[in-house]
Amino acid sequence: MNKILLIIQREYITRVLKKSFWISSLLAPILITAIYAIPIWLAMKDKEVKRVEILDLSGLWKKSDLVDKEVEFTFITGKEQDLKMTFAAKGYDAFVSIPEDVLRNPKGVHIYSAKNIGMSLKGSVEKLIQNKVRHELLLKAGISSQIYESTQVDIDSKTFTVSTDGQETSSSSGGAMILAGIMGLVLYVTLLLYGSQVMNGVIEEKSSRIIEVIISSVKPYQLLLGKIIGVGLVGLTQFLLWIVLTIGLTQVTSQWYGGKVKDNLTQIKQVESGKQGILISKSAEESPMSEVTKVLESTNIPMVIAAFLFYFFVGYMLYSSLFAAIGSAVESATEAQQFTFIVMIPIILSFLMAQYTMQDPDSQIAFWASMIPFTSPINMMVRLPYGVPGWQLVLSMSLLVLGFLGCSWVSARIYRVGILMYGKKVTWKELGKWLFYKG
Amino acid sequence: MILSIRQVVKMYSEHLALDHIDLEIPRAKIFGLLGPNGAGKTSLIRIINQITAPDAGQIMFNGEPLSPKHVDQIGYLPEERGLYKKMKVGDQLLYLAQLKGMSKSEALSKLKDWFIRLDIKDWWNKPVDDLSKGMQQKTQFIATVVHEPKLLILDEPFSGFDPINANMLKDEILAIKDRGTTILFSTHRMETVEELCDDIALINHSRVVLAGEKVEVQNRYKQNKFKIRYLGNLPAELPGIEILAQNGLSATLKLGVGISSNQAISQLIGHVELLEFQEIIPSFNDIFIQVVNETNAYE
């Protein structure tokens, strides 16, 4: 037992001290923070008020029609040809001219600017002009703007899950999908990543020939188990770093932006949907991040985290033991390629199945995908945010443990023969024979 | 006896690697395990190291049946050597020593002694990758002996060593033997056998074909041949003595059955002035080739 601890320690420390470990541990949180922070930053950057001169020959606009958070309008009179030369010198960002016959000729509106005009400024100006033009045209046609407003219905359904005892919880299928997708993707990437790390570790020991020295001190299964657990702990450490760093970085970014972040979430939504001005903007609570937050609130977070760690660790042990068996049978990473596909297929397959599972988490396919040990880690984690009956979770976990025991038995038998085999091209038939070799 | 190997059998699928091997390895001696490639030496060594298990037979270590608790008392230097390339020399040796059951502090102090003795103090923080092949060999040798095993198994220990390091290694092996460690030595190099070994066993085609004390084995293969140097004329015919070769004033003789060396000398001094009379002790190289060929012919 003590020797297994030594092996775990070595496997863990040599990997955690590698530069690549820290690069990937730092890079992922930075990327996530950037994805979250850059739109906010961009939105905030645009927030400086633009000053615009407006020449209204039609006389339809009043000061009160032209109110916008980001644009300040100044009415001016004169000739378009002269004014377009002077606005920049007076310190305006843009100059807008509206023709007399704007109702018949809406394309006659011109916007002049010194620099290339930003999309949001152009959008704001056009929106304000368009709303007024539309309003006037409706009036001419005998439809009041109140009637028009009342027809602009925005369907936004609220979803609830109803349990058999009639309890309702407000749920968000969009948020569940995001959470499920993230967990499925992380499992998919880490199973492949750490599984192949175990395989490369085995190949390294075999090709450097240190293996014979090690197994004259410890049993092969001790070395195998120590390596798998050690690398698995590296994986858990990385998860922990990802979580802590992401939370930390986003907190720091939020602090940096101060209390404005909440306002800006609203604005992002506005920019995205283009619903500005007189249309009612969606509240901050309905942004994608808050959808996830809502799911997190309605699901049992400790249970999801525990299940995630369970499915990662046991699923990883299952796959990495198979990767280790392959590593033991070959002498180089290139030689391993002909065998790795057979282990990678179920991982890739379960990721593909997860796409269906996400869309229909209670279908037959989703059920079986979350029960079969090879596909269950990813698929069960994808189903979990949508709610899974307890018995299914227990059954799936038990089957996964059984699957792991079976795979590790097969792997350990191939491993103990494979690590001492040199100079032999290994075939599938050969691997089969190794299963039945005596001690 | 530190190690008693009794009727050990090992089968690999269709191939019989060890066929009822019996060997007794005495304590604090250097025991040479000889044999051509593929004879079964490595199979036997792996069984002693408990890397594989025999299909039949028994091995006693220090009077007890060999069991996993004995691995810490055995040191093993495999023929194909290797270390973790990226790991630092010191960390690596500490790790390997601890895997042999040493505590960290004990391993640290013993390793420091070795680093001082072999004058390699500045290697401690170097990654193995930066070492030359000879330096790696030294590192590996330390890894094999640092836990002070009762039984040291060396598979072709001199391969890859330059003459200076080979000499150093030889001295270390003899020093370790003097401290009471038994050394099991697997090799093809007959000169090292003659120089170092106290006992030998020759394995061919999965069987022990020759075993015993070195001197006794050599005596067994003596062919009653003598080398002489003389002055005068050696007669072409001598009763009971066959002249195998003659070269100027020296010759190789083979004494007939029943002729003692004293009788031969008294015959010779009647004809020539004898300057030198020396028995030809068969070299292990000759014995090796002779026995292997005999057993191959027998197969």
Which CATH number fits the domain that encloses residue B123? 3.40.50.300
Walk me through the domains of chain A, giving residue ranges and CATH numbers: 46-145 (3.40.190.10), 172-237+294-434 (no CATH)
Average pLDDT score over residue span B189-200: 87
Given a cut of 70, whether residue A129 has pLDDT beyond it is yes
CA closest to A221 among chain B residues = B51
Altogether, the residues listed in chain A come to a count of 439
Looking at the fold, whether B93 and B183 belong to one and the same domain comes out as yes
Task: For residues B119 and B173, state if they share a domain.
Answer: yes
Per-residue pLDDT band for A404 (boundaries 50, 70, 90) equals very high
- Under an 8 A CB cutoff, do A216 and B74 touch? yes
Q: What number is the average pLDDT over the span A381-387?
A: 85
> Is residue B119 in a domain?
yes
Candidates A21, A206, A209, A216: best to mutate against B (most CBs of B within 10 A) is A216
Partners of residue A219 in chain B, C-beta under 8 Å: 68
pLDDT at A397 over 90: yes
CA distance A12 to chain B (A): 13
Same domain, B162 and B193: yes
Contacts of B71 in chain A (CB under 8 A): 216-218
pLDDT (tens digit per residue) in A196-243: 999 999 999 998 889 999 999 999 999 999 999 999 999 989 988 988
Phi-psi region of B25 (alpha: psi -120 to 50; beta: other; left: phi over 0): beta
Output the pLDDT for position A170: 56
Residues B137 and B268 in one domain: no
Tokens for A421, please give them: 């085999």
Count of domains observed in chain B: 2
Question: What DSSP letter does each residue of A36-95 carry, written as one string?
Answer: HHHHHHHHHHTTSPEEEEEEESS----GGG---SSEEEEE--S-HHHHHHHTTTTT-SEE
pLDDT bracket for residue A43 (50, 70, 90)? low
Of A216, A437, A438, the CB nearest to B49: A216
Residue with tokens 């949001």: A120
Return the pLDDT at A272: 45
* Residues in chain A closer than 8 A to B52 (CB atoms): 420, 439
Q: Which of A14, A213, A434 to mutate to test the interface with B (most CBs of B within 10 A)?
A: A213
Residue B165 sits in the same domain as residue B244: no
Find residue B110's DSSP bridge partners. Answer: none
**Is residue B62 domain-resident?**
yes
B119 and B256 in a single domain? The answer is no
User: What local confidence, expressed as pLDDT, does residue A293 receive?
Assistant: 63
User: B108 and B247 share a domain?
Assistant: no
ipTM of the complex: 0.83
Residue with the larger pLDDT of the pair A273 and B211: B211
Which residue carries 């028009």 as its tokens? A148
At a CB cut-off of 8 Å and minimum separation 6, what does A197 contact? Answer: A15, A231, A234
User: Which two structure tokens, joined as six digits, stand for A82?
Assistant: 């002269």
Residue B299, in any domain of the structure: no
User: What is the Cα Rg of chain A in Å?
Assistant: 31
Query: Does residue B284 fall inside a structural domain?
Result: no
pLDDT, residue B108, reads 94
Q: Which of B68, B80, B87 sits opposite A14 (nearest CB)?
A: B87
With a cut of 50, say whether residue A40 has pLDDT above it: yes
Residue A429 touches partner B, C-beta closer than 8 Å: no
Do B126 and B11 fall within a single domain? Answer: yes
Give the number of beta-carbon pairs within 8 Å between A and B.
65
| Å between A224 CA and nearest CA of chain B | 14
Residue B89 lies in a domain: yes
Q: Same structural domain for residues B86 and B212? A: yes
CA dist list (Å): B282 to A32, B225, B289, B290 = 79, 9, 11, 10
Distance CA B251, CA B230 (A): 9
Query: Domain containing B239: what range?
Result: 223-279
pLDDT at A42: 73
Extract the tokens encoding A152. Answer: 């602009």
**Test mutation, A4, A13, A212, chain B, max B CBs within 10 A:** A212
Residue B92: pLDDT band (50, 70, 90) is: very high
Give yes or no: residues B128 and B175 share one domain.
yes
Q: What is each CA distance from A69 to A157, A277, A401, in whole angstroms?
A: 29, 9, 59
Tell me whether residue A119 is exposed, middle or buried, using C-beta atoms within 10 angstroms of its C-beta: 0 to 12, 13 to 18, 19 or more.
exposed
- End position of a domain, from candidates B165, B195, B218: B218
Q: Is the pLDDT of residue A289 over 70?
A: no
Contact between residue B291 and residue B190 where contact means Cβ atoms under 8 Å apart = no
Q: Within this chain, do residues B158 and B198 fall inside the same structural domain, yes or no?
A: yes
pLDDT tens string A302-315: 788 888 889 999 99
pLDDT in tens, B28-61: 999 999 988 888 898 899 999 998 889 999 999 9
pLDDT, chain B, mean: 89
pLDDT of residue A375: 92
DSSP string, A164-193: TT--EEEE-HHHHHHHHHHHHHHHHHHHHH
List, as ranges, residues 211-250 from A with C-beta within 8 Å of B.
Answer: 211-219
Distance from CA of B71 to the nearest CA of A (A): 6
- Residue from A210, A415, A431 whose CB has the most chain B CBs within 10 Å, to mutate: A210
**Residue B298 maps to a domain:** no
B184 with B262, same domain: the answer is no
Task: Specify whether the CB–CB gap between B12 and B161 falls below 8 A.
Answer: no
Is B206 contained in some domain? yes
**Model confidence at A402: pLDDT above 80:** yes
Q: Which residue has the higher pLDDT, A37 or B85?
A: B85
User: A219: nearest CA in chain B?
Assistant: B51
Name the domain boundary from B176, B194, B218: B218
* pLDDT score, position A279: 37
- Judge whether B289 lies within some domain: no
Per the CB < 8 Å rule, is B95 touching A439? no
Among the partner residues A205, A209, A433, nearest to B81 by beta-carbon distance: A209
Give the phi and the psi of residue A353 in degrees, each rounded to 5: -60, -30
Residues sharing a CB contact under 8 Å with residue B27, sequence separation 6 or more, in sequence order:
B1, B2, B180, B182
Write out the H or E segment, with its range, that includes residue A426.
Answer: none
Give the whole-angstrom CA distance, residue A9 versus residue B103: 15
Statement: residue A426 has pLDDT above 90? no
